[in-house]
Structure 1
């Protein structure tokens, strides 16, 4: 019987939200677009890039400016965040992932990043080898909060929803877990507030990665 733990990436494993905001701002500056306040950008973290840029710009996802922003974002992010990714890993993550693997859990990532960018970030952060599967937003027709990403992971790892738990810092992660029939752990050190997470109804709520590992151990 396989058991797995599925993780969000930004704000859950790696402290990238500040870098994401900086990258957005740099993209807008390079394209001579109006400045956007950081709180508006931060509120889109957890959405796929086209949806995030469309929301911040107040336009449709199929507008050409959105595609331009997404393309420029990817190269800009690699230059800003990847060189310091190893320093952005949240405390306890690497040891915690290894502990879970030693206890027999398969580990996966389900992210709103495009898979190429997710893979690059995981490699730069020194975490890629811990995961048996990485699913990005461009590998599904409906990204989080739709449950499709979760279903893809479960199929790849041959795990039933009852033997899986989703870990994330946003309501998108919790809602994905609900839709896929999995339990969920909301972490409070990322993007969404405690009240936002509680509104989505996570199975558990923790304030550290050590708390994630302990909760998985208790519920397994």
Structure 2
């Protein structure tokens, strides 16, 4: 069956994960630790973040987690803020982060649209954060739907948000491909009855993604050539 639409994850897929989020994470840890080295180590540990390498461990729960999950993790080791306060802080500050595109996004997405494809974003970030980052990158106009874990459809790895997008795009799930950098992305796609493509601009490597990916590319640029083999 031909591909008529693509659903992209955001962080680690449209945007390079490490280049976008590692420095921000250090600032978050520093903020909640209030400069105390021991507390910084405690927070980094619960987030699965290596302060010396300034990078996430591949098994970090943050990588594919929702803002609420991260807030609860932080609140479990921070006594000065509850989870609601932490979540508000993360939503507000993360939306201001300058995301680093995995490829030049505007020409890439324009090329996909010129092929008649419908495009959407489903992220476990907040909808507010997703729209802020895509607006900042100047590419929100290319997407028919942009939803987050707080949009009312659920979060990955559940299939519900992907089924919701299929409905919004008026496409059968089999006509859609889920493109992502984490097992959560790809497992959600499989559960939704979609083909799946893994990309290596996140933290996971090909060994981790391969059980759930129909194809794996270095970045989303590889999707363009693949589509030529499917839709011709």
Matched residue pairs, number? 210
Give the 3 Å change call, closer, same or farther, for CA 67–22 of structure 1 in structure 2: farther
How many Å separate the matches in 2 of 1:125 and 1:215? 25
Answer yes or no: is the 8 Å Cα contact 1:174–1:202 preserved in 2: yes
**Consecutive unaligned residues in structure 1, runs of 5 or more:** none
Match of 1:31? Answer: 32
Match of 1:67? Answer: 84
Task: Give TM-score, length-normalised by structure 1.
Answer: 0.85
How many Å separate the matches in 1 of 2:208 and 2:76? 23
State the secondary structure of the residue aligned to 1:205.
strand
Match of 1:100? Answer: 112
Whichever structure has more helix as a proportion of its residues is 1
How many Å separate the matches in 2 of 1:217 and 1:65? 50
Q: Which has the larger radius of gyration?
A: 2
Q: Which runs of 4+ in 1 moved over 6 A?
A: none
**Structure 2 counterparts to residues 11-160 of structure 1, below 5 A:** 11-32=12-33, 34-35=39-40, 36-37=43-44, 40-41=48-49, 42=56, 43=60, 44-55=62-73, 65-79=82-96, 81-82=97-98, 85=99, 88-160=100-172
State the secondary structure of the residue aligned to 1:9.
coil
Answer yes or no: is the 8 Å Cα contact 1:111–1:135 preserved in 2: yes
How many Å separate the matches in 2 of 1:125 and 1:2? 26
Task: Give TM-score, length-normalised by structure 2.
Answer: 0.81
Deviation at 1:2, TM superposition (A): 8.5
Q: CA RMSD in A?
A: 2.3
How many Å separate the matches in 2 of 1:53 and 1:71? 9
